[in-house]
Amino acid sequence: MKKSKDASQEDKDLNYKRIVKEQSNKIDDLQKTQSTLRTQAAKNKHPTSSIANLSLLLLGDLVDDCIYDVLFDVHRDVKQAYAVCQICQTKCRIHSQIPGHDIYNNVYNSGNLPSFECVNCQKMIASVRYASHLEKCLGLAGRQSSRVASRRMGSSPSSSDYNSDSNDNERKRKKLPSSPLTSGSRSKRSRNYDD
Amino acid sequence: MATPDDELIAALSRQFVNSGEKQRLLALLKSKLTEANWSDAYYAHCRTAIQDRKDNVTMEELIEMNSDHGRSMISESIKKELLVHIKKFLHDALVNPTPSNEE
């Protein structure tokens, strides 16, 4: 126990020393720049019109523009949030805009996702996995799931066409195009044209 | 301050705007700031800073409270890039003085 304590204490000391070193380097740099600026200013007759000063002025203008943009947005959003909306006469514009939260201030990690009951198998599934689970459950996703689903439902797969959606690239079409389904639909179609 | 300085500064800013350089650099700066997530972070900071005030915050108060923090939040690399562009513009403007509004 004591050894681990010493080790963590040593780490903290090393960290502290590193931080102190960085900060003192920063202070040295700033002091150097300050002294060079002072000597430069003493040399220049017109200190306000050096290129460095002018460029800093222009940069300040550009940055101020960007800052005022953000502040205008903040001000407008806050004002609208606390004012009564003119359309519905209630305070409907209060929403949170914190990054990572939704507008009602909910945070969804993998831990607390809302889950819903599958309409087919009545299991509780998390919302992000609901669609893919339902696909597999109803046998609409691929070869495996249609086999599993048909076994569960105890009937032959009624939609053999759905298989080809996902398996087109995998196997060549060994089925003849004139399967009982398509020929049936063809005859139906020809009947419609005759009428 | 000597007047020729002020005139020089005024003429340079006029040329900055008229040549379209200011608009171009402003668009560049805005895109860099959004890319670096500065806009959203600054917005979130301002919202949290005035949460307890609830209402009747004026623009002047906002500016006074938050503009310094906003300026410090911009990363040094973005500022340096912009300064490079501005210095190039100033160099060109001073080397080739265009007769701006004196005609």
Does the distance separating the beta carbons of A69 and B83 come in below 8 Å?
Answer: no
Instruction: Using the predicted structure, report yes or no on whether residue A2 has a pLDDT greater than 50.
Output: yes
Determine the residue of chain A that is closest to B89 in CA distance: A55
Residue A98 has pLDDT above 90, yes or no: no
ipTM of the complex in this document: 0.88
What is the per-residue pLDDT across A113-125, written as a single tens digit (0 to 9) for each?
A: 888 999 888 989 8
Q: What would the pLDDT profile of A128-149 be if each residue is shown by its tens digit?
A: 889 999 888 888 877 877 787 7
- b/e sequence B60-97, b meaning 16+ C-beta within 10 Å: eebbeebbeebeeebeeebbeebeebbbebbeebeeee
Chain A residues in contact with B94 (beta carbon < 8 A): 51
pLDDT of residue B42: 93
DSSP of A132-177, one letter per residue?
HHHHHHHT-S-HHHHHHHHHHHTS--S-THHHHHHHTTTS---S-S
Please state, in angstroms and as integers, the Cα–Cα distance from residue A111 to each residue in A5, A107, A115, A131, A178, following that order.
Answer: 33, 10, 11, 19, 51
**pLDDT band at residue A47, thresholds of 50, 70 and 90?**
low
Helices (H), chain A: 2-43, 51-82, 130-138, 143-153, 161-167, 180-194
Residue B93 near residue B15, CB atoms below 8 Å: yes
Judged against a pLDDT cut of 90, whether residue A184 lies above it is answered with: no
| Average pLDDT in chain B | 85
Which candidate, B72, B67, B76, places its Cα nearest to that of B46? B67
The DSSP secondary-structure symbol of A115 reads E
- Three-state secondary structure call for residue A73: helix
Alpha carbon distance A165, A192 (integer Å)? 28
Comparing A188 with B30, which gets the higher pLDDT? Answer: B30
pLDDT given at position B49: 87
Q: How far, rounded to the nearest angstrom, does the alpha carbon of residue A120 sit from its chain's CA centroid?
A: 30
Cα(A155)–Cα(A139) distance, rounded to whole angstroms? Answer: 12
Confidence band of A164 (pLDDT split at 50, 70, 90): very low
pTM (whole model) above 0.80? no
Top-confidence residue, B93 or A4: B93
Average pLDDT, stretch B27-51?
91
State the average pLDDT over residues B30-49: 91
Token pair of B80 as six digits: 């340096």
Higher pLDDT, B30 or A94: B30
CA angle A66, A67, A68 (to 5 degrees): 95
Residues of B in contact with A74 (CB under 8 A): 43, 46-47, 50, 62
- Percentage above 90 pLDDT, chain A: 17
CA neighbor of A158 nearest in space, from A179, A173, A186, A188 = A179
**What's the pLDDT score for residue B99?**
58
> Residue A62: its chain B contacts at CB < 8 A?
22, 25-26, 29, 82
Write down the pLDDT at residue A183.
Answer: 46
B16/A58 touch (CB, cutoff 8 Å), yes or no? yes
Instruction: Provide φ and ψ at B21, rounded to 5°.
Output: -65, -40
Q: Inform me whether the pLDDT recorded for A14 exceeds 50.
A: yes
* Fold of the domain built from segment(s) B29-102: Serum Albumin; Chain A, Domain 1 (1.10.246)
